[in-house]
Amino acid sequence: MLIGFNYTLGDTAPLVRKLLAGRHIDYVELLIDNFLAVPIEELMDGFAAPVGFHIMFSKFIENDTPALERLAYRLRELIDRLRPLYVSDHVARFSHEGRQLYHLAEIDYINDYSRVRERVDWWQQALGCQLLLENYPSIMDGGHDAPAFHERLYRDTGAGVLFDASNAVCAHLNCGVPLEAWEGVIESSSHFHTAGYNLSILQPHLILDTHDQALSDATLGFLQRYRTQFDTPHATMTYERDQRFDEHEIVADLQRLRGVFAPPSQGLRS
């Protein structure tokens, strides 16, 4: 299992380089939207490590075609030159009735399926590669339909899942989506996310995918339970941290991830 770290902001570059130098991580996941204006040569020389691409704001389900074509042109150039380990995006709602949402909203996995399938087909062709789509940290009962939605979409379009283990835990804690429901998705996936989560400010409390806390025991237990399904050849696990960059806490979490996926003999020696 390759362990990576998501790089979203320029200010965290020294930390990312330090994690690479200390061999705490093997690759860097770029939130590629933030680096579209950076010359390709600078991106290639930025970390001297493999990279993954995580797209945040394509809004490919609802964005207009000319805007997506312009974005795809730049992304294809970066994909051709940097050869990322994977290219991923989000299945989510960014707006409602013309108004931009403050937080991303979950789609209706049943009623929106046809539209999403059509857009995924188009977006993959525009990018010229397989697209991985991240599962949502559900807060409502509709999240129960998510595992079957992703399995169906994979069959129909070839689009895989960037499976976020902690998002699945959030969905389990919020609305009872069984972790076992994701077994088929995990077994067909090779690229994964994990992060810390926190309680919402308002009550009744929800579990929010905040990327600002240490990994929970629930998430680590989930990874350990399915370690053989996660840890396949060429698999990657990206640790996300967008806020509260406590270096000691981050390194400790990365070491925990190494421990989960270390061969049994190494685990005993450590």
pLDDT tens for the chain, 270 residues long, are 999 999 998 789 999 999 999 999 999 999 999 999 999 999 999 999 999 999 999 999 999 999 999 999 999 999 999 999 999 999 998 766 677 656 788 999 999 999 999 999 999 999 999 999 999 999 999 999 999 999 999 999 999 999 999 999 999 999 999 999 999 999 999 999 999 999 988 888 899 999 999 999 999 999 999 999 999 999 999 999 999 999 999 999 999 999 999 876 554 443
**Minimal CA–CA distance to 245: which of 270, 214, 223, 267?**
214
Name the residue ranges covered by the structural domains of the chain. Answer: 2-269
* Beta carbons of 177 and 170 less than 8 angstroms apart: no
Reported pTM: 0.94
CB atoms within 10 A of CB 266: 11
CA atoms within 13 A on the CB side of 125: 8
Q: How far apart are CA 157 and CA 114, in angstroms?
A: 11
> Under CATH, to which class is 2-269 assigned?
alpha beta
**Minimal CA–CA distance to 171: which of 116, 131, 134, 117?**
134
Residue 225 in tokens: 């339970």
